[in-house]
Amino acid sequence: MLPDLTFYSHWRSLAAYRVRVALALKGIAHKVVTIDISTGEHRRESFLAINPQGVIPALGLPDGTVLSQSLAILEYLDEIRPRPPLLPQEPAARARVRSLALIHAADVHPLLVPRVRARLSQQASIDDGAWKHWAHGALLPAMQAMEALLANSPSTGRFCHGDAVTLADIGLSSQWVAMALFGCDTAAFPTASRICASLGTINAFAQAHPLRQPDAPGAARGEAQ
Ligand SMILES: N[C@@H](CCC(=O)N[C@@H](CS)C(=O)NCC(=O)O)C(=O)O
């Protein structure tokens, strides 16, 4: 019997998107609690009592444990519901998949979150144009690296690692979603583009898109973080 999970989420969160994809891929039942990061709900005492880091996603377990950090949550979900697996079996393959996922989750995404934007606005008075420039500067070199890693490896298949979806695809697709929302040109990334087109045909990925969430306002394009 699977636990009754509580998923703290918000439509515009790319980290929540990663968890949403995995929950859907694995068909794991959960309830969603929306924490509105655009109004600062994640910084209120009520949410800090759930996740003292004041970020989403978080995943509440029935015994009161709360998990945070999207990749840790993805691995937890993979352990409680091993099918379909999000990691290959072989150690070097597992490391390759994790490293591809971490490029966006660990190195790029942290530069694009609301608290960074707020600091840049307060301390460097950046406007929307400068924020977009900042985001492109974070996203494009990382995608260049991902493209090289994917295009030059015999391990790359229909997806990032072979022909089954892994954590690497969830990481790549969250970066791809970010690039679309920030209006990045993707022409220089044919391998990533091919893989993301394949991922887009999978319901779990398509339905998880920030702009398809019920709490996303109609005019939200360009705001997901
Ligand atoms: N590394 C974390 C990132 C968590 C994170 O920064 N989430 C963003 C939304 S995508 C957030 O809650 N930001 C609030 C803020 O920056 O104030 C993860 O992968 O879960």
Q: Which amino acid is at 16?
A: A
Q: pLDDT grade, residue 43 (50/70/90)?
A: very high
Asked if 5-80 and 91-212 have one fold, the answer is no
**What does the pLDDT look like over 142-186, one tens digit per residue?**
999 999 999 999 999 999 999 999 999 999 999 999 999 999 999
Residues lining ligand 1, judged by CB closer than 6 Å?
13-15, 37, 42, 55-57, 69-70, 105, 113-115, 225
CATH number of 5-80: 3.40.30.10
Query: Quick one: pLDDT at residue 220?
Result: 58
Domain ranges, ordered by start, for the chain: 5-80, 91-212
Ligand 1 atom at minimal distance to the Cα of residue 68? 20
Lookup: tokens for 172: 């790549």
This prediction has a pTM of 0.95
Q: The domain at 91-212 falls in which architecture?
A: Up-down Bundle (1.20)
* Mean per-residue pLDDT of the chain: 95
Q: Is the pLDDT score of 48 beyond 60?
A: yes
Q: In angstroms, how far is CA 210 from the centroid of its own chain?
A: 10
Torsion of CA 90, 177, 130, 142, to 10 degrees: 20
Please tell me the residue having the least CA distance from ligand 1 atom 9: 13
**What does the pLDDT look like over 193-217, one tens digit per residue?**
999 999 999 999 999 999 999 888 8
Give CA angle at 113 (94, 31), nearest 5°.
Answer: 70
